[in-house]
Structure 1
Amino acid sequence: MTTVQPFLMFSGQAEEAMRFYVDTFDQAEINELHKYGMGQSGKEGTVQQGVFSIHGQTILCMDSTLDQPFTFTPSFSLFITCDQESELNRVFDSLSEGGEILMPMDHYPFSKKFGWVNDRFGVSWQLSL
């Protein structure tokens, strides 16, 4: 085994999600973006393979070529630790816009400030100071 990386499968929104995450987080970038072309197995223009990174953590993604009977679940989430409260608040506000707040930003026994949100794409994020 050489690596373990998160992998996100979208239903036609992978590029939009990648660009949203890169805009939301500091030190984030799209590393690779390969799209399906005409006559390939996926819908033309959707993401065949996407790679982006947030603070050095590589995340893979794609748009499914099939309609799937499932989507994201909060039982798997990306956990982000922020050094600055202002960054934590900014990221939480951005990710929760159009999404669903699972645990509001607050003080909890396990963190002086923590929030949990499903973003507008259904991806679950836990954010801690």
Structure 2
Amino acid sequence: MSKFSPCLWFDGKVEEAAEFYVNAFEQSKINKTDYYVDSEHQPKGSVLTIAMTLAGQEVILLNGGPEFDFTPAISFFVECETEEQIDRLWETLSHNGEVLMAFGSYPFSKKYGWLKDQYGVSWQLVLSETLQSISPSFLFSGEQFGKAEEAMNQWIEIFGDGKVEYMQKNPDGSVAQALFTMHGQPFRVMDSGESHDFTFTMATSFYVYCKDQEEIDRLWNAVTAKGKEWPCGWMEDEYGVCWQTVTVDMDTLFDNSDPERAYRVMQELYKMKRIDIAALRKAYEE
């Protein structure tokens, strides 16, 4: 199991979007669908989350409501192996979407483009002649401009098992682009001095699979020290990026095959900010 999984907050259309993405990417499939067992947030029985694999990367779609919107502050950098592959992916993702950087030749790649798809999710496609892969990319602009390197180093320190693989700086010392890994997974950061009217939002967050309560507590304290605490294990760091601490046995605890049990666990979760594994397991076993 990977340590991190992107979680995308949708306002409906999660089943449609899941099929769209699975058909767009290689090595992709829908793994599991969970449903609301109460009616406090969405109609009971409607889709809660869809877990899928896209190009070998787990991605979670959450049917959360209209509260948050995607922005290009977090995009997904897709390396493609062949021209045929990148052409097809660009055509699919750009359908009813919006082009942010034209698809064409650039000094750094024979083919590259940046777009926002029909659901608002941003993608950067690049021809790299390697197996298709997806990595999150964070754009620091506005009040966050110049903090890309600081954030990258802080995340590596907090989440561990990480290193900077590559970094290119602008003349002013800001980060033009940087690639780093945590627990073997790639991430990217960039600074932008452009006058953008967007920043990070909870529409894109990241599952962090934790092995035990000790790890949850450590990450929670570190991330929220200068950030914010949110319900249900959501934590926002000082840069505005949101992470979710989840247990490695979450699938078991929220298994919809026993609706009454799943309801008990969900009600217990709603009481929490920081996840209490023992309390969730107690609700499961009652």
TM-score of the aligned structures, taking structure 1 as reference length? 0.88
The match for 1:96 is 94
**CA separation in 1, counterparts of 2:13 and 2:27?**
22
- Whether the aligned pair in 1 keeps the contact of 2:77 and 2:123 (CA below 8 Å) is yes
Cα displacement string for residues 47-85 of structure 1 (whole angstroms, at most 9, x for unaligned residues):
212111112100111111x431x3000110111101010
Identify if the C-alpha distance between structure 1 residues 15 and 57 changes in structure 2 by more than 3 Å, giving closer, same or farther: same
Corresponding residue of 1:61:
61
1:15–1:46 contact (8 Å) kept in structure 2: no
Deviates more, 1:90-99 or 1:101-110: 101-110
Preserved contact between residue 18 and residue 52 of structure 2 (Cα < 8 Å):
yes
Aligned to 2:72: 74
For 2:106, the equivalent position in structure 1 comes to: 108
SS of aligned partner of 1:6:
strand
User: 3-state DSSP class of the match of 2:104?
Assistant: strand
Tell me the CA shift for residue 15 of structure 1: 1.4
By how many angstroms is 1:34 displaced?
1.4
Other structure's SS at 1:94 match: helix
Whose helix proportion is higher, 1 or 2?
2
Question: How far apart are residue 25 of structure 1 and its match?
Answer: 1.4
Task: Give the letter for the 2:112 counterpart.
Answer: F
Q: Render the CA deviation track for 1:9-33: whole Å, top value 9, x for unaligned.
A: 0000211111100111121101111
Which structure is higher in strand share?
1
Identify the residue that residue 51 of structure 1 maps to in structure 2: 51
Q: CA deviation at 1:40?
A: 5.8
Task: Count the aligned residue pairs.
Answer: 126
CA displacement at 1:105 relative to structure 2: 1.1
SS of 2:120 mapped into structure 1: coil
CA–CA distance in 1 between the matches of 2:120 and 2:45? 21
- Corresponding residue of 1:36: 36
Structure 1 unmatched runs, 5+: none
Question: How far apart in 2 are the matches of 1:125 and 1:13?
Answer: 19
Output the aligned Cα RMSD: 1.7
> Which residue identity is paired with 2:6?
P
Q: Percent identity?
A: 40
Question: Which has the bigger relative contact order, CA under 8 A and spacing at least 6?
Answer: 1
Deviations 1:73-105 (A, max 9, x none): 011011110101001000000100000011111
The runs of 5 or more residues in structure 2 that have no matched partner are 128-286
Q: Runs of at least 4 residues of structure 1 off by over 3 A?
A: 37-41
Q: Is the 8 A contact 2:10 2:66 kept in 1?
A: no
